[in-house]
Amino acid sequence: MGEHAIAPKAQAKPAPEKPAPAAPPPPPPRAEPTAAAPEKPAPEKPAPATSPAVKPAATPSAGGGAAAPAAASKGPAKRQDLRVDLDKLDQLINLIGEMVIAENMLIHNPDIAGLELENFHKAGQQMSKLVRELQEIAMTIRMIPVSGLFRRMIRLVHDLSHKAGKKVELILAGEETEVDKTVIETITDPLVHLIRNSLDHGLEPPQERLQVGKPEKGVVRLTARHEEGEVWITIEDDGRGLNREKILSKAISKGLIEGDGSDLSDKTIYNLIFQAGFSTADKITDVSGRGVGMDVVKQNVEKIKGKIEVTSKPGEGSRMLLRIPLTLGIIDGMMVSVGDSKCIVPTLAIREAFRPTDDAITITPDGLELARVRENFYSVIRLHEVLKKEPGSYKLSEGILILLEYQDKGICLFVDEILGQQQTVIKGLSDYIGNVRWVSGCTILGDGEVCLILDVGHLVEMFDGKES
């Protein structure tokens, strides 16, 4: 299959918009059935007969800064777009966010609490419904498909494969997936980096691939999809995979881990590549191997509250999964109380909540409390200690334990009470305060009070670190 590779194109370009300048477009050979796109495969220009099979279909748009908007303006069927100043849009979205709060303040106004106002309540309900709809729309306004971003990668892969003398097939899927614009901006660089890594470190040169019985042409697959209320972007390659031994020896020589590391899980080891200054590349190319990068990738992804996961099989390739929240503006939260203060816990992180019985709690000799949930033990974090507050009760059996999960690690958070679930509009804490541990932001409640949103990832990780 010498011609080209980018198989599925979700949004078929209207043919007249882009007449193929070169040869007549043959239907793309579907080498990759899994990279399914429900839409018809777009007729594509064949790549110039270069060795890398990347089809530079997006060359005109990939070059200029106009790439993203251009991509956003294409859609299935008839889609009409209007270019709007982003500031104006943000203002509108902020305003709607504030309206949600104001509406709450109005409906739950203490002045009318307890009064029988049938007509008012009817009108209020109507208003709530409208406001909710408005908010939902507002949240989708900023969403743009990832196709523009993916298209830039086509060009990148094309150039890199040339440079590295490797044959690469780039397969895109799920280009129509929509993500917040800020997310797109933030993950562009990490994505570029990950793809470079796949090409440079992951995929072997053609001869080596043939020797180990793989097709000469390497495959890099870039997919986006919605899953678990997040957007998952995966970068997979069928290269040599991460080298556990190499990472391990490097980590030991850098003093990152103690002992020989033989007891560490693959996952722990692979996560070492996100440490600053970590590179196992034997030779430094002008593309990669400089040891800066993966830590920056991680930082960038975490900036938008995303996560990154690595899986790899030696000889079969590696897979990077970016898990990114759908929107940055709003989360589903569970409001909990400790003493006289309230906090929001993101619902996504909550596995379950229960009132523990005394015999479900074990206290280790060094005072660590463990809660048994079926077969597993989780350490207990007391929220009142984190917030330095007076709790309603110090006894675990008189409060609620919330089992929180973050990247396969779990903790039980001890709170007084669960007050209810609600959609929360996230506001940043002021720049003046800067970053606060445990807290990812705050929101304004119906009664005008400011309520902190707990940073579950931080809680889990901090505690995990303490433990080991």
Partner 1 sequence: MAESKNIDFDKDFSVENEDTLKGKFLTFHLGKEDYGIEIRYVTEIIGIQKITEVPDMPAFVKGVINLRGKVVPVMDVRTRFSMEPREYDDRTCIIVVNIDEKSVGLVVDKVNEVADIPDKQIEPPPRTNMETSRYIQGMGKMGNEVKILLDVQKLLYTDDLAMMEL
Instruction: Give whichever of 98 and 417 is closer to partner 1, judged by the CB atom.
Output: 98
Instruction: Give whichever of 283 and 388 is closer to partner 1, judged by the CB atom.
Output: 388
Give min distance, CB of 441 to partner 1, in A: 9
Amino acid, res. 451: C
Q: Is 434 in the site for partner 1 (CB under 8 A)?
A: yes
Q: Which span sits near partner 1 by CB under 8 A: 165-173, 201-209, 282-290, 433-441?
A: 433-441
Q: Is 276 in the site for partner 1 (CB under 8 A)?
A: no
Q: Is 448 in the site for partner 1 (CB under 8 A)?
A: yes
Secondary structure element (H or E) that encloses residue 87, with its range: helix 86-107
**CB count, 10 Å around CB of 259?**
8
Q: Is 176 helix (H, G, I), strand (E, B) or coil?
A: coil
The only residue of 439, 453, 456, 459 in contact with partner 1, by rule CB under 8 A: 439
Instruction: Give whichever of 165 and 448 is closer to partner 1, judged by the CB atom.
Output: 448
Instruction: Give whichever of 198 and 337 is closer to partner 1, judged by the CB atom.
Output: 337
The secondary structure of 306-374, three-state, reads CEEEEEEECCCEEEEEEEEECCCCEEEEEEEEECCEEEEEEHHHEEEEECCCHHHEEECCCCCEEEEEC
Q: Using CA atoms, how far apart are residues 266 and 244, in angstroms rounded to an integer?
A: 7
Q: Using CA atoms, how far apart are residues 316 and 237, in angstroms rounded to an integer?
A: 8
What are 124's two structure tokens? 């209020």
Give min distance, CB of 437 to partner 1, in A: 5
Q: Which span sits near partner 1 by CB under 8 A: 138-146, 242-250, 405-413, 436-444?
A: 436-444
Give min distance, CB of 431 to partner 1, in A: 6
Closest residue by Cα to residue 181 from 100, 80, 75, 71 = 71
Instruction: Give whichever of 233 and 383 is closer to partner 1, judged by the CB atom.
Output: 383
Instruction: Give whichever of 308 and 411 is closer to partner 1, judged by the CB atom.
Output: 411
Instruction: Give whichever of 160 and 452 is closer to partner 1, judged by the CB atom.
Output: 452
Give min distance, CB of 303 to partner 1, in A: 17
Give min distance, CB of 114 to partner 1, in A: 21
Give min distance, CB of 430 to partner 1, in A: 5
Q: Using CA atoms, how far apart are residues 147 and 177, in angstroms rounded to an integer?
A: 8
- Residues from 162 through 191 that contact partner 1 (CB under 8 A): none
Residues 6+ apart with CB under 8 A from 292: 276, 277
Binding mask 96-135 for partner 1 (x = CB under 8 A): -xx--xx---------------------------------
Q: Is 341 in the site for partner 1 (CB under 8 A)?
A: yes
Amino acid, res. 399: G
Q: Is 301 in the site for partner 1 (CB under 8 A)?
A: no
Q: Is 432 in the site for partner 1 (CB under 8 A)?
A: yes
Q: Is 435 in the site for partner 1 (CB under 8 A)?
A: yes
Q: Is 465 in the site for partner 1 (CB under 8 A)?
A: no
Q: Is 80 in the site for partner 1 (CB under 8 A)?
A: no
Q: Is 430 in the site for partner 1 (CB under 8 A)?
A: yes
Give min distance, CB of 295 to partner 1, in A: 18
Secondary structure element (H or E) that encloses residue 201, with its range: none
- Residues from 364 through 423 that contact partner 1 (CB under 8 A): 386-389
Q: Which span sits near partner 1 by CB under 8 A: 2-10, 51-59, 192-200, 449-457?
A: 449-457
What are 418's two structure tokens? 């669960």
Give min distance, CB of 128 to partner 1, in A: 18
Q: Is 433 in the site for partner 1 (CB under 8 A)?
A: yes
Q: Would you give the end-to-end CA distance of the chain in angstroms?
A: 52
CB 231 within 8 Å of CB 305: no
Helix%, strand%, coil% for the chain, nearest 5 = 35, 25, 40
Q: Using CA atoms, how far apart are residues 341 and 313, in angstroms rounded to an integer?
A: 47
Q: Using CA atoms, how far apart are residues 208 and 205, in angstroms rounded to an integer?
A: 5
Q: Which span sits near partner 1 by CB under 8 A: 141-149, 349-357, 370-378, 446-454?
A: 446-454
Q: Using CA atoms, how far apart are residues 241 and 218, in angstroms rounded to an integer?
A: 12
Instruction: Give whichever of 139 and 439 is closer to partner 1, judged by the CB atom.
Output: 439
Q: Is 36 in the site for partner 1 (CB under 8 A)?
A: no
Closest residue by Cα to residue 396 from 423, 357, 339, 424 = 357
Closest residue by Cα to residue 324 from 151, 439, 185, 424 = 185
Q: Is 431 helix (H, G, I), strand (E, B) or coil?
A: coil
What are 50's two structure tokens? 């270069």
Q: How many residues bind partner 1 (CB under 8 A)?
A: 29
What are 79's two structure tokens? 């889609």
Written as one string, the DSSP assignment of 12-55 is PPPGGGS--SSSPPPPPP---SSS--SSPPPP-PPPPS-SS---
Q: Is 338 in the site for partner 1 (CB under 8 A)?
A: no
Q: Is 427 in the site for partner 1 (CB under 8 A)?
A: yes
Q: Which residues bind partner 1 (CB under 8 A)?
A: 97-98, 101-102, 341, 386-389, 427-439, 442, 444, 448-452
